[in-house]
């Protein structure tokens, strides 16, 4: 009997991503999150909608077809660890694929869960990540200048030699870069905005005659 194809609920996938991890990366945002952090800017990723499921093989083909440079893959959400089977299959494939590549490629995964819980419940998944950024977003703990983390309580943990090489030092400072991507009738803001940043951006768009009808940072 042939095994059923593995599917992943996916909000979006994008290349190049330069604001969530070092270098030029592929970004994968999973769909579905029950954590419900107040002030989450990705509320469009909350609903675990099976209609967003994609065949993992299609995502792998997309990754394998990306141009260089490709320094890493960032998986965010949504809550990636709420789809452990699909995440495991994806990261297992990435592990095999990157061994065939000449340039090193790291895997950074975001989670709203604390690292201790992930170590307890998903040690096998953590073993496939080079680094993780863990913990819920806490708006009042937003710390200006954190490049890859939304709030100061979130922890960046390097888990492998490559992870230590790329994430072990001090997190780069300075204003976090934000990217804007337009695809499929949606405008995406990629990066770590501060509280109110997206409302201010919406106001500036409105002042320029551009009306934003639905936004991901308000329910
Ligand atoms: S910040 Fe992340 S973990 Fe928190 S509700 Fe939003 S998607 Fe979920």
What tens digit of pLDDT does each residue of 164-219 get?
A: 999 998 877 766 677 877 777 677 778 777 777 777 777 777 777 776 666 666 65
How much distance in Å is there from the Cα of 1 to the middle of ligand 1?
38
Q: Please, which residues bridge with residue 26 across strands? A: 73
The domain 7-207 is placed in CATH, from the list 1.10.287, 3.90.1690, 3.20.20, 1.25.40, at: 3.20.20
Neighbours of 48 (CB within 10 A): 16
Question: How many Å from the N-terminal Cα to the C-terminal Cα in the chain?
Answer: 44
| Residue 110 alpha carbon, nearest atom of ligand 1 | 2
Nearest to 136 by CA among 20, 38, 21: 38
DSSP H helical segments within 73-196, as ranges?
Answer: 84-99, 115-121, 123-126, 161-167
pLDDT at 20 over 90: yes
pTM for this prediction: 0.90
How much distance in Å is there from the Cα of 155 to the middle of ligand 1?
14
């Amino acid at each position: 009997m042939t095994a059923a194809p593995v599917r992943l609920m996916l909000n979006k996938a994008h290349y190049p991503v330069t604001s969530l991890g070092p270098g030029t990366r592929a970004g994968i945002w999973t769909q579905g999150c029950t954590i419900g952090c107040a002030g989450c800017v990705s509320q469009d990723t909350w609903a675990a909608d099976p209609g967003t499921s994609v065949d993992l093989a299609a995502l792998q083909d997309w990754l394998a077809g990306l141009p260089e440079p490709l320094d890493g893959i960032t998986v965010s959400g949504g809550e990636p660890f709420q789809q452990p089977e699909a995440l495991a299959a994806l990261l297992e494939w990435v592990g095999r694929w990157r061994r065939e590549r000449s340039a090193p490629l790291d895997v950074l995964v975001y989670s709203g869960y604390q690292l201790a819980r992930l170590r307890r419940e998903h040690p096998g998944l953590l073993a496939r990540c080079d680094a993780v950024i863990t913990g819920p977003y806490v708006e009042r703990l937003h710390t200006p200048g954190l490049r890859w983390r939304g709030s100061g309580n979130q922890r960046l943990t390097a888990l492998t030699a490559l992870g230590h090489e790329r994430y072990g030092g001090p997190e780069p400072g300075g204003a976090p870069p934000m990217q804007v991507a337009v695809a499929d009738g949606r405008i995406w803001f990629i990066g770590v905005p501060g509280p109110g940043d997206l409302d201010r951006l919406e106001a500036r768009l409105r002042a320029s005659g551009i009306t934003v009808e639905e936004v991901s940072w308000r329910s």
